[in-house]
């Protein structure tokens, strides 16, 4: 196998391995969403899972865009693993991705949360109850929006919007214009409906909402997709052999 062939095989191998690992991690994380919603009214401190995930997502955005949404968010995991089989997986309407709508939602939800906390800022249990309420409202909205697509909420989620603004251009997916044959297999498995093929001529999938998951790379039959650092990883693995 030549060098390019090796890179392709390696990219496929990594994507398959990472996809399996991601699914496993999501099966562990998804129940956290159910536990917080089911028991948070009685044990309000469980609500603190919400700011932990929010802050992890925002911090992660400085390194790799919406990676946390795609791999480590318990609600994203809940949508991918539990809701996806029940959702028709239709395309997410473009108007839901528009910036004015998304930033309005950021202001409204953050404003609502701050206002609620300000009602009793000295009580840690009150904070927990507010976070729990935010989780119930937004997860409920996400479940309703799953009549369109399991990740419709994620296209709107305020933390996702902030993450995309901070790090949406970091580590963007690359598409090889010479190799891609526009079969559309990658777009079918993309959890958040990214229009990958339209970026073929440019060679870079400039989509700040990309969740940095390995699914499109895993299914591409010709190895046309890869991460910008995959060559570096390949070189390091070759060196260690
Ligand atoms: S799966 Fe690969 S070949 Fe098919 S459209 Fe996507 S990038 Fe192109
Ligand atoms: S474009 Fe690829 S990496 Fe990005 S979210 Fe879609 S499937 Fe995952």
H helices then E strands: how many in the chain? Answer: 11, 2
Burial class (CB in 10 A: 0-12, 13-18, 19+), 144: exposed
**211 CB within 6 A, ligand 1:** no
- Residue pair 70/130 in contact (Cβ under 8 Å)? The answer is no
- Average pLDDT, stretch 153-160? 96
User: Which of the two residues, 195 and 235, has the higher pLDDT score?
Assistant: 195
Protein residue with its CA nearest to atom 8 in ligand 2: 213
Q: Each residue of 119-146: pLDDT tens digit?
A: 999 999 999 999 999 999 999 999 999 9
- Average pLDDT, stretch 208-226? 95
- Residue pair 47/36 in contact (Cβ under 8 Å)? The answer is yes
- Average pLDDT, stretch 35-60? 97
pTM above 0.85, yes or no: yes
| Separation of alpha carbons 192 and 83, rounded Å | 13
Q: Each residue of 68-125: pLDDT tens digit?
A: 999 999 999 999 999 999 999 999 999 999 999 999 999 999 999 999 999 999 999 9
Every domain of the chain with CATH number 3.30.70.20 lies at 174-235
Q: Which atom of ligand 1 is nearest to the CA of 185?
A: 1
**β strands within 19-126, DSSP E:** none
CA 120 from chain centre, in angstroms, equals 33
Work out whether the CA dihedral 15, 10, 208, 190 comes out positive or negative. negative
**196 CB within 6 A, ligand 2:** yes
Mean pLDDT of the chain: 92
Q: How many Cβ atoms are within 10 Å of 23's Cβ, its own excluded?
A: 14
| Separation of alpha carbons 25 and 37, rounded Å | 20
Fold classification of 174-235 is: Alpha-Beta Plaits (3.30.70)
């Amino acid at each position: 196998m030549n060098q390019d062939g090796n890179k392709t095989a390696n990219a496929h191998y990594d994507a398959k391995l990472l996809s399996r690992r991601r699914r496993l991690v999501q099966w562990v994380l998804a129940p956290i969403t159910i536990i917080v919603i089911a028991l948070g009214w009685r044990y309000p401190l469980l609500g603190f899972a919400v700011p932990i995930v929010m802050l992890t997502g925002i911090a992660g955005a400085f390194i790799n865009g919406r990676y946390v949404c795609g791999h480590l968010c318990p609600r994203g995991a809940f949508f991918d693993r539990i809701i996806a089989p029940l959702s028709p997986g239709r395309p997410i309407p473009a108007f839901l991705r528009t910036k004015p709508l998304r930033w309005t939602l950021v202001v409204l939800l953050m404003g609502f949360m701050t206002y609620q906390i300000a009602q009793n800022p000295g009580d840690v249990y009150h904070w927990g109850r507010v976070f729990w309420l935010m989780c119930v409202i937004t997860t409920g909205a996400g479940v309703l929006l799953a009549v369109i697509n399991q990740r419709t909420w994620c296209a709107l989620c305020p933390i996702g919007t902030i993450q995309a603004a901070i790090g949406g251009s970091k580590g963007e997916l690359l598409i090889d214009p010479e190799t891609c044959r526009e079969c559309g297999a990658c777009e079918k498995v993309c959890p958040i409906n990214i229009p990958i093929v339209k970026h073929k001529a440019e060679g870079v999938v400039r989509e700040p909402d990309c969740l940095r998951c390995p699914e499109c790379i895993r299914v591409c039959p010709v190895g046309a997709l890869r991460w910008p650092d995959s060559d570096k990883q390949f070189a390091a693995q070759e060196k260690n052999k």
